[in-house]
Each structure stands twice: as C-alpha cells, then as structure tokens.
C-alpha cells in the first residue's frame, strides 16, 4: 500500500462552523478524514496527517511558510510515496508555484488542494478534492507539484485562482491541464515532467525582498520609484500586453535606469491572462531592455513572484539570476 503524507497547513477545508462563521479548529480535519468511509476504503493509500500549528488562513501565508512546507516534505521524501498539502484557496497558486521551485528534484508527487466549503459541511467540495489529490499523489508517473481542484489536475506553477467561489476555481492559462478527474482520473503522460530525482538544497531563509507592481494608465513614476527602492532586490512588473511601459514618460525612464544601476532585477509578466511577454516586439519595451529586465514569457504572476523570491534567496549573482529567470526550471514557462 502506498503511503501518503498529508500536511494540513490551514484553510477552509478543515474549518468548522463557529459563531462568526467558519473557523480553524485543531484536530477537526483529522477527525473528519478518519470518519469518512470513502477515505478509508482499501483502494485509498495509507494516510499520515500532520496538522500545522498554528493553522493559517491562506491570506496570512508568507514566503517563510512556503519554506516550512518544503522542509517538511523534503525531510520525508524517503518515507512516503507522495505528499498532499491542504491549503486555503486565496494564495494556493502562490504556494504551489513556490513549492515547484523549492522542491525541484524531489522525484515525488506533491499535490496542493483545498476547498470552498469545509470537509464536514453539507455539499462540501473538500471530499472530492481530497480523495482525488490522494489518488494523484499515489501515482508512479507524477513527479512534480500539482494543484488539484474540482475536476482539474494542473501543474502547480501554472495555476491561477480564477473564481472566488466556484468549485472549478483554478485555471491554467497558456498551457493545458495535466489531466482531469471525471468518471476516471486521467493524466496525460506526455505533459508530465520527467526530471530525475536530485538532491534538494533549500535556502536557509526565504526572505528576499521582492515587490510586485501592476502598471496602469497615468501611474505616477513615484509609485514605480517606491517599488524599486531599497531594500527591494527584485520586482515583478505586470506590464501591458507583450511587455510595454509608458516609454514617453521621462520620469518612468529615469526611475527604471536608477533601479538598474542599483542592481534591482526586474521580471516582466503580462497583465493579459493569455499570451506571453516579448520584450523585443515593441519599441515601448526598450526601457525595460535597457534596465536589464527579464521577460517572463508566459509565466503567471504567481509563478514569477515565487520564482524571483526563491532564486534571490538562493543567493545567485545577478547574471546567473537573470539566466535562471529566463530558463524553464519547473514547467513554469514555455521557451
């Protein structure tokens, strides 16, 4: 029988109704799982459940929490066949992306999931999400971080939250899903990553100061200047279309040049859900090119932010960092 480690970080799936709405309750999730016949059938792998202390609403997640989860999994890579991370939906895509970068080389399935309705509540989507996740985590062909929600099996570093309340809350723009969970669980083997297991060297801390800024018409240069100010070492810039900025604004040009002189690394993604950044396509991308910005191609904002935090925390020099940002490390971009 396969052995699956279930890390309950927090989130709606393990909450119970309280006087002021759903609230976390230590031990409640474990009791619900143990009491569900469908989760204790012979076909279901053996589950070891660890509830984090404290349980976190996903809105309170920080990079240090990503590192805690990654360490938890890395320390148990040889003791379990797969891993499931139960997480709140609001920042689930950020965590799934971060784990994809932190755990590259794990060689085990890691499945991030949660629910819109708690496991013990009528009409909960948590039962299906958890069962599907456990079964995906027990597969021999999956060796990467996935996000399972509703009927979709997505690459973790390609997922975005697209609905605040729907049972199919996550989507994967620019790349097809890895599989689906319908009458049967189907995974397209041709889409799975096949990298061989490798040693995992997690950073001592995940504390690199990285900013995130979305351009908008008329945005004052002072806002960009603040986003690039010390101690920021990296910035994810959500630019227009294929990666354009207001190149006719001399103050914007000045701020970009000053940021480049200070060594701030800018990773550019598109505000468009579909498509990719091409910094050579338009003249209005010129200031970004001169500032040494890296085009994020078709990366999601969540993946770009997590990747920049992880790589900066690993201590790469500027040139090596830019090369790694432009390289596909975990299936996060299409070269």
DSSP 261-283: HTT-EEEEEESSSSS---TTS-G
48 within a domain of the structure (yes/no): yes
Measure CA 169 to chain center.
14
Helices (H), 1-55: 28-34
Q: Pick the last residue of a domain from 131, 161, 191.
A: 191
Residue of 12, 91, 244, 300 with catalytic role: 12
28 within a domain of the structure (yes/no): yes
Same-domain status, 126 and 163? yes
What is the reported pLDDT for 19?
A: 86
275 within a domain of the structure (yes/no): yes
Q: Pick the last residue of a domain from 191, 226, 257.
A: 191
CA distances 224 to 4, 211, 259, Å, are 45, 10, 10
Range of the domain at 316: 210-326
Contact yes or no for 76/50 (Cβ under 8 A): no
What is the reported pLDDT for 294?
A: 96
278 within a domain of the structure (yes/no): yes
> Of 7, 180, 161, which is closest to residue 84 (Cα–Cα)?
7
Same-domain status, 21 and 152? yes
Count of domains observed in the chain:
2
Q: Pick the last residue of a domain from 144, 164, 191.
A: 191
> Of 300, 289, 294, which is closest to residue 319 (Cα–Cα)?
294
Same-domain status, 184 and 266? no
Query: Does the model's pTM come out above 0.85?
Result: yes
Same-domain status, 27 and 103? yes
Same-domain status, 37 and 156? yes
204 within a domain of the structure (yes/no): no
CATH code: domain of residue 300: 3.40.50.40
201 within a domain of the structure (yes/no): no
Same-domain status, 91 and 173? yes
Same-domain status, 28 and 175? yes
Indicate if 12 belongs to the active site. yes
261 within a domain of the structure (yes/no): yes
What is the reported pLDDT for 195?
A: 85
CATH code: domain of residue 71: 3.40.50.1170
Contact yes or no for 225/249 (Cβ under 8 A): no
Q: In tens digits, what is the pLDDT along the chain, a chain of 335 residues? A: 999 999 999 999 999 988 888 888 999 999 999 998 888 899 999 999 999 999 999 999 999 999 999 999 999 999 999 999 999 999 999 999 999 999 999 999 999 999 999 998 999 999 999 999 999 999 999 999 999 999 999 999 999 999 999 999 999 999 999 999 999 999 999 999 998 899 999 999 999 999 999 999 999 999 999 999 999 999 999 999 999 999 999 999 999 999 999 999 999 999 999 999 999 899 999 999 999 999 999 999 999 999 999 999 999 988 999 999 999 999 999 99
What is the reported pLDDT for 199?
A: 95
Same-domain status, 184 and 221? no
In whole angstroms, what is the distance from residue 148 CA to residue 286 CA? 39
In whole angstroms, what is the distance from residue 255 CA to residue 223 CA? 10
Same-domain status, 221 and 81? no
198 within a domain of the structure (yes/no): no
Same-domain status, 9 and 64? yes
Question: Which segments within the chain are labelled E, that is strand?
Answer: 3-8, 16-18, 21-23, 46-51, 82-86, 110-113, 145-149, 152-155, 160-161, 170-171, 179-181, 185-187, 210-214, 234-239, 265-270, 294-295
Same-domain status, 12 and 134? yes
CA distances 180 to 28, 122, 128, 153, Å, are 29, 24, 13, 5
In whole angstroms, what is the distance from residue 306 CA to residue 160 CA? 13
Same-domain status, 54 and 172? yes
């Amino acid at each position: 029988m396969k052995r699956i480690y279930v890390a309950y970080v927090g989130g709606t799936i393990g909450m119970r109704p309280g006087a002021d709405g759903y609230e976390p309750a230590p031990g409640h999730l474990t009791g619900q799982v143990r009491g569900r016949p469908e989760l204790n059938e012979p076909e279901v792998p053996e589950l070891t459940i660890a509830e984090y202390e404290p349980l976190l609403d996903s809105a309170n997640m920080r990079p240090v929490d990503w590192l805690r989860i990654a360490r938890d999994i890395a320390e148990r890579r040889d003791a379990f066949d797969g891993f499931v991370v139960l997480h709140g939906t609001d920042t689930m895509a950020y965590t799934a992306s971060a784990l994809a970068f932190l755990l590259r080389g794990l060689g085990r399935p890691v499945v991030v999931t949660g629910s819109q309705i708690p496991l013990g509540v009528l009409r909960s989507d948590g039962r299906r999400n958890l069962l599907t996740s456990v079964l995906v985590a027990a597969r021999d062909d999956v060796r990467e971080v996935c996000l399972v929600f509703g009927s979709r099996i997505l690459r973790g570093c390609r997922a975005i939250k697209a609905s605040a309340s729907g049972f199919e809350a996550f989507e994967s723009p620019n790349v097809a899903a890895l599989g689906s969970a319908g009458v049967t669980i189907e995974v397209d083997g041709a889409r799975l990553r096949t990298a061989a297991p490798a040693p995992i060297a997690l950073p001592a801390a995940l504390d690199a100061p990285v900013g995130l800024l979305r351009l908008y018409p008329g945005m004052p240069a002072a806002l960009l200047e603040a986003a690039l100010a010390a101690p920021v070492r990296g910035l994810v810039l959500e630019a227009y279309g294929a990666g354009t900025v207001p190149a006719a604004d001399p103050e914007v040009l000045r701020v970009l040049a000053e940021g480049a002189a200070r060594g701030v690394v800018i990773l550019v993604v598109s505000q468009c859900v579909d498509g990719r950044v091409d910094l050579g396509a338009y003249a209005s991308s010129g200031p970004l090119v001169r500032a040494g910005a890296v085009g994020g191609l078709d990366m999601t904002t969540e993946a770009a932010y997590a990747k920049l935090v992880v790589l900066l925390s690993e201590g790469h020099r500027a040139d090596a960092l830019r090369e790694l940002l432009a390289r596909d490390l975990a299936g996060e971009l299409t070269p």
